[in-house]
A and B are shown apart, each in its own frame.
Chain A
Amino acid sequence: MLPLIVCVPFIGAVLVPLAASRAGLRPALTAGLTAALALALLIPEMPAVYEGAALIDRHEWIPAIGLTVAFRLDGLSLLFAQLILGIGMLVVLYAHYYLSATEGGPRFYSYLLLFMGAMLGLVLSENLLQMLLFWELTSLSSFLLIGFRRREAEARQGARLALFVTGGGGLALLAAVLLIGGLAGSYELTDVLAAGETIKQDGLYPLILTLFLLGAATKSAQFPFHFWLPHAMAAPTPVSAYLHSATMVKAGIFLLGRFFPVLAGTDLWFYLVGGMGLTTLLLGAYLALFQNDLKGLLAYSTISHLGLITLLFGLGTPLGEIAAVFHIINHAVFKASLFMAAGIIDHECGSRDMRKINGLFKYMPYTAVLAMVAAGAMAGVPLLNGFLSKEMFFGETLHLQWLGDASWHWVLPWAATLAGVFAVAYSLRFIHDVFFNGEPKGLTRTPHEPPRWMKVPVEILVVLCVAVGTFPGFTVRPVLEAAAGAVLQRPLPEFSLAVWHGFNLPFAMSLVALSGGVAVYTVRRRLFAAHERLRHRLRFSGKDVAEGLLALVFELGRRLDRLLDNRSLVRYTFALLVSALAIGAAGYWGEPIGGSGPRESLDLGVLLGGLLLGAGAVATAIKHRNRFVAVLMLGLVGLMTSLFFARFSAPDLALTQLLVEIVTVILVLLAMYFLPEATPAVFSATRRARDTLLALLTGTGVAALTYAMLTRSADSISAFHLAESKPGGGGTNVVNVILVDFRSFDTLGEITVLGIAAVGILAMLTGLVLHGPRMDWLGRPWAPDRHPMVLAVVSKPLLPIALLVSAFLFLRGHNEPGGGFIAALVTGVALILQYIAQGSNTAQARFHGDALTLIGAGILLAVLTGLGSWLFGYPFLTTTFTYATLPVVGKFELASAMLFDLGVYLGVAGTVLLILAGLGDLSPRNRTA
């Protein structure tokens, strides 16, 4: 069931654009129903999880690298899945009213569902590598969402900044997970959770923790990586409500919780995580007060609350961890509703600037009440949910005796209270500045209440704030216990969720925070002025650093590009060859060249053939400017190679090489008709010397490599092929059996590649008209007889004979040298002879059919043969064979591999024909003939 739940949003992401043929409710409805369906699928699994079980659903994927498709549903993942799907549904409903008709709703919901699926996959993953995939996917889909209004420069910059920071963190996290997996010996979360002690005692632990925190901190906007979040506010407000308060920014926190048993509980964890959380908490709360943008205030407040949760995890105590999980829930609920309220205000006023939007209470009293309640929860006002978790937080800061007699443990309660003061102050600013404090200034329209259903999501969330705040034991306890239990992986300690704990120290801290907040707000004007002066003094922002880094990377890239890319392919080739030589040489530098394997003695025949071959190769290079000679020399090399194969026990190769040589020479000669006769000398003598040197070095290197390989004996896997060829494949020609049976999947790929090359050639030849020279290079006109009678007469009877030979080679291929490749080349050569002797028109008239169809039919036949084995319940391309007896012919073998070989035959023959006939047909002179 779990994989299905994760898949549902992805399927929905595809369906939404399809459902959106017309504007209207349909895209939003599809998206909402998708989320509802996923939630409905989740419900049957819930009871077991509330009883403390962890459901795991595991399938093998790539066992060799420890990659499984494995999902896990425990209390923590269930909590996040509920937040993702529940708030997701509300956001979809809200977005339907928020987005204007022209803004491309379907695209928005599609991205949103993509993100939802990625986030679900992240929290439900059991395998860590799989979790990383989803982690990256959340970064990518949030990039799309932040940059949704792609015409606005701010949106594009914000999206890029977020991707840069969170993507960079993702790389660090990847490294951390690989290290953790290496230490734990498995990438399954269950195993990793059990290996916590091993990991904490390993020397790599500080490195792992640092890398891991880089990943978590960038995602959850912790200091010093917090700066991307305010810029991400360029996203449409539903995105801010969803990603930047409830879900994505909680992903880093989720990781802290997930890996709590693995990494937490050390001093290093306390100082790093706690320090980071405390700094973020204070900095975010302080900066939130001075934002004039409504969403900016909420963004910094989010940073601050994320810092609070991080700090709670950093304390490392069980109760602190319970408070952290509790605050995750509470913050998601009140902050999402506040973002939605801010969106409504923006939507109705056309501005988010708190210096302009004042006194909105009389224009939208209902929305104002909702927003004020949510802001109260943010400030930590009693009877609202934020108050409860904040009290638990205050309480936890007081219980640090376990640190020993540290003289500074008074710092934490004071810092926590100070952050509380600022939280109250900025919440007060949100309420007072926006809804009271005079009249709106310079708005272009008169604000009024939004459409009825736009307020529904806000209402639901605000009701939750109050319900949790007044009846915590009744509403939130089971969820909290399940989630906190999953984080801790141990039985939970006793904890109280009562609204009133009596007049104790945490409550006193709350009172100080409330009254202090009011006091700070009343003197805000002086504070604003002081902050402005400070800001001018300290002109420093993380955004500038990140953008500077990005610009530096781009500039380095441009420089490297200018250095390497001078638009000369010759230079690229040179660079490529030099690199290959350098890397190859570095690879076996210092190794002895000769090995101790057995050697063959040299005989005269091979020596002579070798001398011819070498001379041919050198002559090709030296004489290359005289193209005709060079082609002849190349042909010599090909023929000698063919003889070489024959001498060293490879009759199939010898035949193939010989036939390909013929076809290649015909092809090159055809092309030479159009190309210039000779290659002009354009390179200087120095350049030629340089190239010669590189050629000699490369040649020496390759020769040394070959010698090293030949003089060492290696175990081959071919014993299997030799032994199984007859009993398993039914043929005695092992090479052919390998091609059509053992490794027929490779062969299928190869004829497909050949077919693709043929199609590419056809595409390039289409519409290509070239004019060859009117006379040869000695100035003589071409012979008037274009199709000499003698050739035509001789070639005609040759065709059936050649085809017969081809059929013979094909049929015996399984047992004797031959087979589909060789038979196809023979057929190709025979048909080309007809084209040359009689002209393409006559030949075309005799040869009914189209080469492209032949290629297609060949590949199709090979695939169908492979699929045929499925019918009998065997894997793709399994072959079978039997023996049949016919009168006259006698006993012979019928193998399904032969059908496959026929496919190979058709494909290769079609390719050869298409290429040569196409080339011969280029000149208009030939066509009229």
Chain B
Amino acid sequence: MEALVSILVGVMTASAVYLLLRSHTFPIVLGLSLLGYAVNVFLFASGGLTPDNAPLVEHGIARLPDPLPQALVLTAIVIGFGMIAFLIVLALRALRDLGGDGVDGGDAP
């Protein structure tokens, strides 16, 4: 299980890095979203992988998953959304002001 999760985080990161290095705004938005998933899964996994349970203490606290990374990741997901939204609007603004969706201004690479 650990190997699978590690490989998945790696694959998401690799795809994200490739997208981050493109010349237009849209793939970069995709890349940052992907990187967000990778980082969130990574942070989440730092609490260990506990299958089929929930951090609810109704029935005692034995074998419960680590709630702290969950709380951190929860806010990270929402903040990540805010950041992606900001980027998209920035891209639209740049499209209007620079006349293209290239990262380095206009339509040039």
- Whether A and B are associated in the same complex: the answer reads yes
A positions within 8 Å CB-CB of B: 567-570, 573-574, 577, 599-603, 606-607, 610, 613-614, 617-618, 620-621, 624-625, 627, 630-631, 634, 637-638, 641, 644-645, 647-653, 656-657, 660, 663-664, 667-668, 671-672, 674-676, 679-680, 682-683, 691-692, 694-696, 698-704, 706-707, 709-711, 713-714, 716-718, 721-723, 725-726, 732-735, 738-739, 743, 746-747, 750, 753-754, 757-758, 760-761, 764-765, 768-770, 815-817, 821, 825, 908, 911-912, 915, 918-919, 922
Scoring B residues 33 to 69 as 1 if CB is less than 8 Å from chain A, else 0, what string do you get? Answer: 1100110111011111111111111100100111110
Asked if B71 and A738 sit within 8 Å, CB to CB, the answer is yes
Name, among B57, B58, B86, the residue most crowded by chain A CB atoms within 10 Å (CB to CB). B57
**Chain B residues positioned under 8 Å from A667 (CB to CB):** 84-85, 88
CA distance in complex: A621, B13 (Å): 11
CA distance in complex: A601, B49 (Å): 11
Asked if A722 and B85 sit within 8 Å, CB to CB, the answer is no
Given contacts A704-B6, A716-B66, whether A627 and B74 have CB atoms under 8 Å apart is no
Asked if B78 and A637 sit within 8 Å, CB to CB, the answer is no
CA distance in complex: A631, B88 (Å): 13
Q: Per a CB cutoff under 8 Å, which of A570, A610, A753 touches B4?
A: A610
Asked if B27 and A606 sit within 8 Å, CB to CB, the answer is no
* Nearest CB in chain B: distance from A673 CB, A: 10
* Nearest CB in chain A: distance from B63 CB, A: 10
CA distance in complex: A255, B84 (Å): 54
Add 17 more A-B contacts to A599-B1, A739-B75 (CB < 8 A): A602-B1, A617-B8, A620-B19, A621-B15, A637-B12, A649-B52, A653-B73, A675-B91, A703-B6, A706-B42, A716-B66, A725-B57, A732-B56, A735-B67, A750-B75, A761-B85, A908-B78
Name, among B27, B46, B71, B107, the residue most crowded by chain A CB atoms within 10 Å (CB to CB). B71
**Chain B residues positioned under 8 Å from A758 (CB to CB):** 82
Name, among A631, A641, A726, A733, the residue most crowded by chain B CB atoms within 10 Å (CB to CB). A641
Identity of the chain B residue whose Cβ is nearest the Cβ of A660 in the assembled complex: B81
Q: Per a CB cutoff under 8 Å, which of A707, A754, A760, A912 touches B2?
A: A707
Does B17 reach chain A (CB closer than 8 Å)? Answer: yes
Given contacts A653-B73, A657-B77, A765-B89, whether A722 and B67 have CB atoms under 8 Å apart is yes
Given contacts A649-B50, A695-B18, A919-B89, whether A700 and B40 have CB atoms under 8 Å apart is no
**Chain A residues positioned under 8 Å from B6 (CB to CB):** 703-704, 706-707, 710
Asked if B2 and A599 sit within 8 Å, CB to CB, the answer is yes
- List 25 A-B residue pairs with CB atoms under 8 Å apart, sorted by A's residue number: A599-B2, A610-B5, A614-B11, A614-B12, A620-B15, A624-B19, A631-B30, A634-B34, A637-B12, A647-B51, A649-B53, A650-B44, A650-B65, A660-B81, A663-B81, A676-B101, A695-B21, A699-B11, A702-B38, A706-B42, A710-B45, A734-B67, A738-B68, A754-B82, A816-B56
Given contacts A570-B21, A671-B91, A679-B27, whether A617 and B71 have CB atoms under 8 Å apart is no
CA distance in complex: A674, B90 (Å): 13
CA distance in complex: A743, B76 (Å): 14
**Chain B residues positioned under 8 Å from A726 (CB to CB):** 57
Asked if A703 and B4 sit within 8 Å, CB to CB, the answer is no
CA distance in complex: A702, B41 (Å): 12
**Chain B residues positioned under 8 Å from A599 (CB to CB):** 1-2
Asked if B92 and A671 sit within 8 Å, CB to CB, the answer is yes
In the complex, chain B residues 77-109 whose Cβ is within 8 Å of any chain A Cβ: 77-86, 88-93, 95-96, 101-104, 107-109
Asked if A675 and B21 sit within 8 Å, CB to CB, the answer is no
* Nearest CB in chain A: distance from B31 CB, A: 8
Asked if B74 and A653 sit within 8 Å, CB to CB, the answer is yes
* Nearest CB in chain A: distance from B67 CB, A: 4
Asked if B33 and A634 sit within 8 Å, CB to CB, the answer is yes
**Chain A residues positioned under 8 Å from B13 (CB to CB):** 698-699, 702-703
Asked if B68 and A716 sit within 8 Å, CB to CB, the answer is yes
Asked if B21 and A694 sit within 8 Å, CB to CB, the answer is yes
B positions within 8 Å CB-CB of A: 1-27, 29-31, 33-34, 37-38, 40-42, 44-58, 61, 64-68, 70-71, 73-75, 77-86, 88-93, 95-96, 101-104, 107-109
Asked if A656 and B21 sit within 8 Å, CB to CB, the answer is no
**Chain B residues positioned under 8 Å from A717 (CB to CB):** 68
Asked if A620 and B34 sit within 8 Å, CB to CB, the answer is yes
Given contacts A653-B74, A758-B82, whether A624 and B47 have CB atoms under 8 Å apart is no
**Chain A residues positioned under 8 Å from B15 (CB to CB):** 617-618, 620-621, 695, 699
Q: Per a CB cutoff under 8 Å, which of A634, A699, A750 touches B78?
A: A750
Q: Which 7 residue pairs across A and B have the least CB separation, nearest first?
A: A703-B10, A699-B14, A621-B15, A707-B6, A734-B67, A600-B1, A649-B65
Q: Per a CB cutoff under 8 Å, which of A607, A700, A739, A817 touches B54?
A: A817
Given contacts A735-B67, A735-B71, A743-B71, whether A699 and B10 have CB atoms under 8 Å apart is yes
Asked if B104 and A567 sit within 8 Å, CB to CB, the answer is yes
**Chain A residues positioned under 8 Å from B83 (CB to CB):** 757
CA distance in complex: A707, B46 (Å): 10
CA distance in complex: A735, B61 (Å): 13
Asked if B2 and A696 sit within 8 Å, CB to CB, the answer is no
Q: Main SS of the interface on chain B?
A: helix
* Nearest CB in chain B: distance from A714 CB, A: 8
Asked if B84 and A570 sit within 8 Å, CB to CB, the answer is no
Asked if B55 and A656 sit within 8 Å, CB to CB, the answer is no
Asked if A706 and B5 sit within 8 Å, CB to CB, the answer is yes
Given contacts A648-B65, A735-B74, whether A613 and B10 have CB atoms under 8 Å apart is no
Asked if A734 and B51 sit within 8 Å, CB to CB, the answer is no
Identity of the chain A residue whose Cβ is nearest the Cβ of B104 in the assembled complex: A568
Name, among A621, A651, A922, the residue most crowded by chain B CB atoms within 10 Å (CB to CB). A621
Given contacts A614-B7, A652-B74, whether A600 and B2 have CB atoms under 8 Å apart is yes
Asked if B54 and A716 sit within 8 Å, CB to CB, the answer is no
Asked if A691 and B90 sit within 8 Å, CB to CB, the answer is no
Name, among A631, A660, A701, the residue most crowded by chain B CB atoms within 10 Å (CB to CB). A660
Asked if B37 and A764 sit within 8 Å, CB to CB, the answer is no
Asked if B92 and A738 sit within 8 Å, CB to CB, the answer is no
CA distance in complex: A701, B103 (Å): 27
Asked if A656 and B74 sit within 8 Å, CB to CB, the answer is yes
Asked if B37 and A735 sit within 8 Å, CB to CB, the answer is no
CA distance in complex: A634, B30 (Å): 7
Name, among A601, A607, A675, the residue most crowded by chain B CB atoms within 10 Å (CB to CB). A675
Asked if A757 and B85 sit within 8 Å, CB to CB, the answer is yes
**Chain A residues positioned under 8 Å from B75 (CB to CB):** 739, 746-747, 750, 821
CA distance in complex: A747, B79 (Å): 11
CA distance in complex: A301, B15 (Å): 70
* Nearest CB in chain A: distance from B27 CB, A: 4
Asked if B67 and A674 sit within 8 Å, CB to CB, the answer is no
Given contacts A650-B65, A738-B68, whether A815 and B56 have CB atoms under 8 Å apart is yes
* Nearest CB in chain A: distance from B14 CB, A: 3
**Chain B residues positioned under 8 Å from A733 (CB to CB):** 55-56
Identity of the chain A residue whose Cβ is nearest the Cβ of B7 in the assembled complex: A703
**Chain B residues positioned under 8 Å from A922 (CB to CB):** 92
**Chain A residues positioned under 8 Å from B89 (CB to CB):** 761, 764-765, 915, 918-919
**Chain A residues positioned under 8 Å from B103 (CB to CB):** 569-570
Asked if B67 and A718 sit within 8 Å, CB to CB, the answer is yes
Name, among A648, A732, A821, the residue most crowded by chain B CB atoms within 10 Å (CB to CB). A648
Asked if A648 and B49 sit within 8 Å, CB to CB, the answer is yes
Given contacts A620-B30, A706-B5, A922-B92, whether A577 and B21 have CB atoms under 8 Å apart is yes
CA distance in complex: A625, B22 (Å): 10
Asked if B96 and A722 sit within 8 Å, CB to CB, the answer is no
Asked if B24 and A679 sit within 8 Å, CB to CB, the answer is yes
* Nearest CB in chain B: distance from A529 CB, A: 65
* Nearest CB in chain B: distance from A691 CB, A: 4
**Chain A residues positioned under 8 Å from B68 (CB to CB):** 716-718, 721, 738
Identity of the chain A residue whose Cβ is nearest the Cβ of B11 in the assembled complex: A614
Q: Per a CB cutoff under 8 Å, which of B57, B88, B109 touches A570?
A: B109
Given contacts A568-B104, A599-B2, whether A709 and B70 have CB atoms under 8 Å apart is no
CA distance in complex: A706, B40 (Å): 12
Asked if B17 and A721 sit within 8 Å, CB to CB, the answer is no
**Chain B residues positioned under 8 Å from A624 (CB to CB):** 19, 22, 26-27, 30
